[in-house]
Structure 1
Amino acid sequence: MKLNKIEFMLMNNPARRLMQKSLEFKKFKYFLNRNDINLKGKSILDAGCGSGYSTYLLEKEYSPSKLYAFDLMESQIDLAKKRKLNANFFVGDITKIGVHEEEFDAVFVFGVLHHVPAWKEAIKEFSRVLKPGGVLLLEDMNGDASKFFKKYFGLDHPNEAFFEWSEFTSHIEDNGLQILYQEKVVFEGLRTFLCIKPTNLNNI
Structure 2
Amino acid sequence: MGQDVDYSARLYAGYTEGRALGESAIEIWRSAFSRNASSERPLTVLDLGCGTGRFTPVLADLFGGPVVGVEPAQRMLSIAETKNQHPEASYVLGDAENIPLDDNSCDLALLFLMFHHVPNRDAAAQELARVLRPGGRVLLVSSFGDRLEERLWFQFFPRARQIEERMFPSFDEVTGLFADSGFNYIGLDRVECEVASSFRAYADKISHRAIPTFEYLEEDEIETGFSLLHDAASKDAGQVPVRESADVLVFELRAIS
Report deviation, 1:195.
Answer: 1.2
Contact 2:135/2:254 (<8 A) preserved: yes
Report deviation, 1:91.
Answer: 1.0
Q: Which residue of 139, 142, 164 corresponds with 1:140? A: 142
Distance 1:7 1:48 in 2: 13
Give the letter aligned to residue 103 of structure 1.
S
Report deviation, 1:117.
Answer: 2.4
Contact 1:133/1:199 (<8 A) preserved: yes
Contact 2:57/2:85 (<8 A) preserved: no
Match runs of 1:157-176 below 5 Å: 162-176=168-182
Q: Are 1:31 and 2:19 counterparts?
A: no
Structure 2 equivalent of residue 78 of structure 1: 78
Q: Which residue of 93, 96, 107 corresponds with 1:94? A: 96
Structure 1 equivalent of residue 49 of structure 2: 48
Contact 2:185/2:252 (<8 A) preserved: yes
Distance 1:63 1:130 in 2: 17
State the secondary structure of the residue aligned to 1:179.
strand
Q: Which residue of 112, 131, 134 corresponds with 2:133? A: 131
Distance 2:47 2:179 in 1: 21
Structure 1 equivalent of residue 106 of structure 2: 104
| Cα separation, partners in 2 of 1:158 and 1:70, compared to 1, 3 Å | farther
Q: Mind listing any 5+ residue stretches in structure 2 that lack a counterpart?
A: 193-242
Deviations 1:40-93 (Å, cap 9, x if unpaired)?
Answer: 2221111011111110110121220x3211111111111111132122211111
Q: Mind listing any 5+ residue stretches in structure 1 that lack a counterpart?
A: none
What's the TM-score, normalizing by structure 1? 0.79
| Cα separation, partners in 2 of 1:22 and 1:5, compared to 1, 3 Å | farther
Contact 1:31/1:181 (<8 A) preserved: no
| Cα separation, partners in 2 of 1:134 and 1:140, compared to 1, 3 Å | same
Report deviation, 1:167.
Answer: 1.4
Report deviation, 1:143.
Answer: 2.3
Give the letter aligned to residue 75 of structure 1.
R
Distance 2:175 2:30 in 1: 20
Bigger RCO (CA 8 Å, 6+ sep): 2
Q: Are 1:195 and 2:251 counterparts?
A: yes
CA RMSD of aligned residues (A): 3.2
| Cα separation, partners in 2 of 1:137 and 1:14, compared to 1, 3 Å | same
Deviations 1:166-192 (Å, cap 9, x if unpaired)?
Answer: 1111111111001112133459x9420
| Cα separation, partners in 2 of 1:143 and 1:72, compared to 1, 3 Å | same
Give the letter aligned to residue 78 of structure 2.
D
Greater Rg by CA: 2
Structure 1 equivalent of residue 184 of structure 2: 178
Percent identity, please. Answer: 20
| Cα separation, partners in 2 of 1:185 and 1:42, compared to 1, 3 Å | closer
Distance 2:32 2:135 in 1: 20
